[in-house]
Structure 1
Amino acid sequence: MTVRYPRPLRPGDRIGVTSPSSGVAEAMRGRLDVAVRDLEARGYEVVVGRCMDGSRHVSAPAAERAAELTALLTDPTVRAVVPPWGGETAIDLLPLLDFGRIAEAEPTWMAGWSDISTLITPLTLLTGVATVHGNNLMDTPYRTPPGLLSWLDIVTAPRGTELRQTPPGRHRSGGFDDFRADPEVRDLTLDAEAGWTRLDGTGDVDAGGRLIGGCVETLVNLAGTRYLDTSALAGDEGLLVYVEVADADAFTACRHLHGMRLAGFFDHAAAVLVGRTRGPDARTLTQHEAVLDALGPLGVPIVADVECGHVVPYLSLVNGARGRVVHTAARSEIVQTLD
C-alpha cells in the first residue's frame, strides 16, 4: 500500500468540525468556542458542521453523520477534519461512508482518538490516507508538555519531516478536567511520575514499521473484517501496532486483545505499544498481565504505559507513517517519518 499524506496545513486553510460520534452538550459549548477561537487565532478558518447536537449519545442519525463526514473529507477547500471528541457508537458510520469517493479525493487530514479510532484506522487501511491518532478538538487549547507533539504539530509538518517524541515523565493520576466549570483551562495537571515499561522481558527495544492502532474497546468489534485488515499496509516492512484500553477491567481487556490477535490484527507486528490506562486490575490479573497473557505469544517487544491512551498527556501517532520506537535504560522515544 502506498501511504498518501495530506499536504501540510497552512494559515488560511479551512478546518472542518463535525461529530461523527457524540456531539457537544450545551454545558460544554464554552469549551468548543474556546477551541474554535484558538484555531482561528492561528489563522485558520473553522467550519462547524450541523452534526453537533449533544443531547443524546450521537450527534445525529447515522446517515447524516456519514454524509457530513464524507462531504468534509472530499471537499477540496477543507484541509483537516477534527471532531470535538469521541463517543460510543461511531461504528454505525462504517457501512455508510463512501470510502471509494474519499480515496479518489485529494487527501485531507483527520485527527482524533477514543471512538474516533473506529473511523480513522479503517480510513487509513482502506484508502491509504494517513490519519492522526492524538488530540481531539476539545484538547487543542491545552499547552503541549515537553517532548510531545499535538495534532497541529503533525498536520503542519512538511513532507519528509522526522517527528520525534519522548515521554515527559509525568502523567495525570485523576480524571479529566471539568470543561463546564473551566472552559478556558490550558494547563494539564501532571501530578504523578511516569515512564514506559517493557512487559515481555528485559533488554533494549529498537523496532520499526508502519504505525497503526487505536482504542481496544472500539477496534475489537472490527477485528476480522475488512475495516481492520492490516496486511496491505504492512507490506514487507511490518508494523508498529499501538493499542490502548480506555477503561475496561483487566479480564475484559485480556479477552479483547486475545480476540484481536486471533483475528490477525497483530500478525505483522514488529513491536506493540500499549497506552497507559485507568482500567482497573482484577483480583488475580493486572492490566500489564492481561496484555502479556494475550500478546506474549507474538514473540515481539511489548512496551506499555506509552502516552497514547486515555490518560493525560497524549502523544500523536500517524496511522500509516513509518515509525521507529526505542526504549532503553537511558532513553525512550518514538520517531515518525512522513515519507
Structure 2
Amino acid sequence: MEQLRYPPKPKPGDRVAVVSPSAGLPAIFPHVYELGLRRLREELGLEPVEYPTTRAVHADPRDRARDVTAAFADPTVTAVLATVGGDDQLTVTPHLDDAVLRANPKPFFGYSDNTNLLNHLHKLGIVGYHGGSVLVHLGRPGALHPLSTESLRAALFTTDWYELRPADEWGDQPHDWNDPATLATEPPMVPGTGWTWLGNRRVVTGRTWGGNLEILHWLAAADRIAPAAELAGSVLVIETSEELPPAVEVYRMLRNLGERGLLAGFPAVLVGRAKAWDFARPHTVAERRAYAEAQRDAIMRALAAYAPEAVVVFDLDLGHTDPQLIIPYGGEIRVDALTGRITVRY
C-alpha cells in the first residue's frame, strides 16, 4: 500500500464528475436523480458533469471503469461523486487505469458498493470519502438533512478537523422512489439515541479503513484487501446495508476477517447505526431495536475473540443512515473514549 495522501479539494463553482460505477439507477429514477443534481448545483454550488454510463442500466463494467478513469483524468473536474451503490462494482475496479488515478488524485465520494472503489483508492494511497450519495442523500425527499449537508460541505471544501456529533433525529425508512409524489415530504424520523461506547477507554488516533461489511467480505473473498500488517493501526469503520444481514452472518463475516488477522490490528472500531427497515421487511420500531441489539451482540462477540482491547463505538450516523456523516477513507481520525468525542480530518 502506498503512503496515503489527501487529494486537492474543489471550490464552489467547480465542475465535479457524477458517475455510476455500480447500479445505473439514475436511468430508472430520473426524478430522484434530477433532484440530487439540482441540490448539488443550488445547495453546494457545484456543476455536475455526467458520463456515458451515468444514466445507463446494466452498463458493461469496462465502460463504467472507463468513465471513472476519464473523470479522474479530466483536469477541469475537481471531485468525483457516485450516484448510488449496487452489487457488482467488484467487477469494475480491475479495469481502472491506476496510473491515471495516481497521477490525478481527486476526492471520491460514495458508500455501500462503492466500498470497492474506496478500498481501491486506499491501496493506491489516495484518501477517499465514505458517503455522499447523489440519489440517496442529495436526492432526499422534502429537504436535505442539515447534518448531512454540513458534513458533506465540510468534506468537500475544507481540509480542517471536523468533530462528528450524534444526530438529534434519525431514520432508515425511505420513501418509495417509484412514486414521484413522495419527493414532496421528508421521510419519517425518530429521536436520536446518541452513541454507545463499549470496550477499552482510551484515546486512539490513526487512519480509517473499512466500509460496508458485506462488501468487505466480498473483497476478502476476491483477495482485494491489503495484508493485515499494512492495515494494522487503522481505525475500522463498518456498517451494514438494506439487505439486513442476520446477526449470525454479521458475526461470521467479522470472524472471517479476524481469522485473516485483520481485527487484531484495529485499535478502534466504529459501527454505523444498523439499518433495520426495508420495503421487503417493514419492521416496527421495536423490531428494528431488537435487530440492532442482536447485531451489536454479534459484533461484540467477534471483537471479544479477535480484538478484545479495541475501543468500540456503536450507532454512528454513517453509511445507510439518514442523516449521514461523511468519513474520510484513509484519512486521519481521533477517537477519544475518555471524553466521548470523535474528530476526523477532511
Measured against the shorter chain, the TM-score band is 0.7 to 0.9
Offset of residue 150 of structure 1: 3.1
- TM score, norm. by length of structure 2: 0.84
* Partner-residue secondary structure (3-state), 2:82: coil
Which amino acid counterpart does residue 18 of structure 2 have in structure 1? V
Q: Is the Cα–Cα contact under 8 Å of residues 18 and 51 in structure 1 kept in the other structure? A: yes
Offset of residue 265 of structure 1: 3.1
2:343 aligns with 335
1:99 aligns with 98
* Partner-residue secondary structure (3-state), 1:150: helix
Distance in 2 (CA, whole Å) between partners of 1:80 and 1:183 is 30
Which amino acid counterpart does residue 288 of structure 1 have in structure 2? R
2:121 aligns with 123
Give the count of matched residue pairs. 323
1:162 aligns with 161
Distance in 2 (CA, whole Å) between partners of 1:129 and 1:88 is 23
Higher mean C-alpha deviation, range 210-219 or range 300-309: 300-309
1:44 aligns with 46
1:143 aligns with 144
Offset of residue 226 of structure 1: 5.7
* Partner-residue secondary structure (3-state), 1:305: strand
Distance in 2 (CA, whole Å) between partners of 1:186 and 1:325 is 36
Which amino acid counterpart does residue 193 of structure 1 have in structure 2? G
Which amino acid counterpart does residue 304 of structure 1 have in structure 2? F
User: How big is the alpha-carbon RMSD for the aligned residues of Structure 1 and Structure 2?
Assistant: 2.7
Which amino acid counterpart does residue 271 of structure 2 have in structure 1? V
Offset of residue 147 of structure 1: 8.7
1:206 aligned to 2:203? yes
Q: Is the Cα–Cα contact under 8 Å of residues 223 and 259 in structure 1 kept in the other structure? A: no
1:304 aligns with 314
Alignment counterpart, residue 243 of structure 1, candidates 238, 253, 256: 238
Offset of residue 304 of structure 1: 1.3
* Partner-residue secondary structure (3-state), 1:108: coil
Task: Using the aligned pairs only, state the percent identity.
Answer: 27
Higher mean C-alpha deviation, range 148-157 or range 213-222: 148-157
Distance in 2 (CA, whole Å) between partners of 1:27 and 1:197 is 38
Structure 2 CA distance for partners of 1:319 and 1:185, relative to 1, 3 Å: farther
Which amino acid counterpart does residue 129 of structure 2 have in structure 1? V
- TM score, norm. by length of structure 1: 0.85
Higher mean C-alpha deviation, range 26-35 or range 115-124: 26-35
Partner deviation per Cα, 1:244-277 (whole Å, 9 max, x = no partner): 1212111111111111222233343110011111
* Partner-residue secondary structure (3-state), 2:92: helix
Partner deviation per Cα, 1:180-224 (whole Å, 9 max, x = no partner): 3347458454213322123437xx453221111100111111127
More helix by share: 2
2:111 aligns with 113
Offset of residue 12 of structure 1: 2.6
Structure 2 CA distance for partners of 1:35 and 1:97, relative to 1, 3 Å: same
1:261 aligned to 2:258? yes
Structure 2 CA distance for partners of 1:50 and 1:313, relative to 1, 3 Å: same
Unaligned runs of 5+ in 2: 277-287
Distance in 2 (CA, whole Å) between partners of 1:166 and 1:323 is 14
